[in-house]
Chains A and B, each alone.
Chain A
Amino acid sequence: MLINVPETVVADALRGMAAAHPELTVDVENRVVLRRDAPMAGKVGLISGGGSGHEPLHAGFVGPGMLAAACAGEVFTSPVPDQMVRAAAAVDSGAGVLFVVKNYTGDVLNFEMAAELAEDEGVQVAQVLVDDDVAVTDSLYTAGRRGTGGTLFVEKIAGAAAEEGAPLERVEAIARRVNERSRSFGVALSACSTPAKGGPTFDLPDGELELGVGIHGEPGRERRPMMTSREIADFAVDAVLEDLRPTGPVLALVNGMGATPLLELYGFNAEVQRVLSERRVPVARTLVGNYVTSLDMAGCSVTLCAADEELLRLWDAPVRTPALRWGR
């Protein structure tokens, strides 16, 4: 592993990020990455965060048109409430903040505590829970569906609404709509290695894959002998469509888990587009790359969002962040 010691991995990454992105404010001590222009007068501030190890999520999405701040937790461990409270205080100009929270128990509990503390300090806080992962089928008996690739859609589209100056309840409503219309399915070809453990966090033998994996390598629906890119696309897209049933065009995210090269991801995207075409689902926009990763895990995920005109317009709106950048 390319690290010094496990204890400083997150701080080291934030220092490096600060050096590479002078357009951001990086508070290394408190592990908060902020828009340089925060607080943004009259605009709602989107704040997200979660365990580190999913880069570029979330700090890579801080900037005009997307997040106002991101809070970095330890590797695969949610941030603590103090970080979110600090971010909220730095970002809020009176228009309030929206917490974008992935549905993992730790994230939910820490953001809930943070919301109460920030409200005590006079910041208006709304929260949206992202739970797009269709691999969790029996959510009655678990902590519920996990938040994965759909987080990118929520952060981009709600971020665009906030940038336009939409009020908090409107930004919150759009974020919820994006989440309700987004579904994901992930596949692991290898386990990931955390710095603390120094090796793979689970055992996935060569020649096998895990279908329906989460972004920390949590097992999913089943383990199978290796499949082709074509077979994986059929399985993943059908799993998403079985749940989503879009009636119009979709936004598609073909996401890498960290250790799968773009050559393979683009090849996989060709198969994803083929399945969608066979199922008569028009694709309005496609994004291919490593956006919601799991350290060094090999694998991929597919996220689809059933778009409408407004969501498409907000998706196309300018964004300027380290990892997502288009428009003006």
Chain B
Amino acid sequence: MTEPTTPGTPEGPPAPGPVPGALDTAFFVRWLSAAAAAVDREADRLTELDSAIGDADHGANMRRGFAAVTAVLEKEPPPTPGAVLRAAGRQLISTVGGASGPLYGTLLRRTGKALGDEAAVSRERLAEALAAGVAAVSGLGGARPGDKTMLDALVPAAEALGESFDAAREAAERGALATVPLRARKGRASYLGERSVGHQDPGATSSALLVAALAEVSR
């Protein structure tokens, strides 16, 4: 994909040493490992949600993708937080398939691109980068909040991450739950029309798992 490169250096002079509370490469590897564990643990539930309004493979697909992500991060650990997310995103695109592969892959790749090549970043900076990743997902899939997609969890989570990790987790979980009464307008669930109402969106649910994993490793 052709993507504009985002400058990776923050404004002002570089900090002399590690910033207290900064998120380093190891933190991002821990996040994705925790996300992989959560996806693995919840795969059957994701598939069950998907069988109600999709085609019953979301759990299996996400499990396959995140297993590949942890394998590649263990094999050749990337040097920076941005590189971790870019490598993970590329891996998801190469292994997940369906709509989830390109969408989650783009989320992580674009968030990683926005982080640039700093050795460590602040939570606020991650929040900005995540917002850029979420915007890229919206651009790729053409969905907006309220369409009963992963964006219903991700958009509020990226906003709340500016406040705290736990606020982001709560916002994502609230967003996923809020998809229950919605009518799907994107993806395969959209073919159900009114019959998609009353079911929680599997993509919003897996997105909430990712954000919960982030809050978990921040403690």
Residues of A within 8 A of B (CB): 6, 51, 73-82, 104-106, 109-110, 112-113, 116, 136, 138, 141-143, 146, 194, 196-197, 201-202, 214, 216-220
Supply 15 A–B pairs (Cβ within 8 Å), ascending by A.
A73-B98, A78-B101, A79-B97, A80-B93, A105-B188, A109-B101, A110-B98, A110-B102, A112-B102, A142-B185, A143-B186, A196-B60, A197-B51, A201-B56, A218-B191
Q: Are A81 and B93 in contact (CB under 8 A)?
A: yes
> With an 8 A cutoff between CB atoms, is B2 at the interface?
yes
**Interface centre among B57, B64, B103, B193, by most A CB within 10 Å?**
B57
Q: Are B191 and A214 in contact (CB under 8 A)?
A: yes
Q: Given A105-B141, A194-B55, does the pair A78, B97 have CB atoms closer than 8 Å? A: yes
Measured between beta carbons, the chain B residues less than 8 angstroms from A141 are 183, 185, 190, 193
Q: Are B47 and A197 in contact (CB under 8 A)?
A: yes
> With an 8 A cutoff between CB atoms, is B19 at the interface?
no
A113 to B2 Cα, complex, angstroms? 10
A77 to B187 Cα, complex, angstroms? 12
Q: Are B55 and A146 in contact (CB under 8 A)?
A: no
Majority-rule SS of B interface residues: helix
Measured between beta carbons, the chain A residues less than 8 angstroms from B55 are 76-77, 194, 201, 216-218
Measured between beta carbons, the chain A residues less than 8 angstroms from B192 are 218-219
User: What per-residue 1/0 map shows which CB atoms of B81-122 lie under 8 Å from chain A?
Assistant: 000000000000111111111110000000000000000000
Interface residues in B43-97 (C-beta closer than 8 Å to A):
47, 51, 55-57, 60-61, 64, 93-97
> With an 8 A cutoff between CB atoms, is B15 at the interface?
no
Of A51, A106, A196, which is within 8 A of B47 by CB?
A: A196
User: Top 9 closest A-B pairs, CB basis?
Assistant: A142-B190, A106-B98, A109-B102, A106-B99, A77-B97, A105-B99, A218-B191, A77-B98, A197-B56
Task: Report the nearest A residue to B184, measured CB to CB.
Answer: A142
Q: Are B195 and A219 in contact (CB under 8 A)?
A: yes
Q: Are B191 and A142 in contact (CB under 8 A)?
A: yes
Measured between beta carbons, the chain B residues less than 8 angstroms from A138 are 193
Beyond known contacts A194-B56, A218-B191: 10 more, CB 8 A cutoff: A6-B60, A73-B98, A74-B61, A76-B57, A106-B98, A109-B102, A112-B102, A141-B183, A197-B56, A219-B192
- Number of A-B pairs whose CB atoms are under 8 Å? 108
Q: Are B1 and A113 in contact (CB under 8 A)?
A: yes
Q: Are A194 and B57 in contact (CB under 8 A)?
A: yes
A326 to B195 Cα, complex, angstroms? 43
> With an 8 A cutoff between CB atoms, is B26 at the interface?
no
Measured between beta carbons, the chain A residues less than 8 angstroms from B56 are 76, 194, 196-197, 201
Measured between beta carbons, the chain A residues less than 8 angstroms from B140 are 109
Measured between beta carbons, the chain B residues less than 8 angstroms from A136 are 191
Q: How far is the CB of B61 from chain A (nearest CB, A)?
A: 6
A78 to B61 Cα, complex, angstroms? 11
Q: Are A110 and B97 in contact (CB under 8 A)?
A: yes
Q: How far is the CB of A305 from chain B (nearest CB, A)?
A: 23
Q: Are A116 and B1 in contact (CB under 8 A)?
A: yes
**Interface centre among B47, B97, B100, B188, by most A CB within 10 Å?**
B97
Measured between beta carbons, the chain A residues less than 8 angstroms from B186 are 105, 142-143
A80 to B190 Cα, complex, angstroms? 22
Q: How far is the CB of A51 from chain B (nearest CB, A)?
A: 8
Q: Are B101 and A201 in contact (CB under 8 A)?
A: no
Q: Are B57 and A109 in contact (CB under 8 A)?
A: no
Measured between beta carbons, the chain B residues less than 8 angstroms from A202 are 51
User: What per-residue 1/0 map shows which CB atoms of B178-216 lie under 8 Å from chain A?
Assistant: 000001011110111101000000000000000000000
Q: Are A82 and B193 in contact (CB under 8 A)?
A: no
A80 to B96 Cα, complex, angstroms? 7
A110 to B104 Cα, complex, angstroms? 12
User: What per-residue 1/0 map shows which CB atoms of B147-164 lie under 8 Å from chain A?
Assistant: 000000000000000000
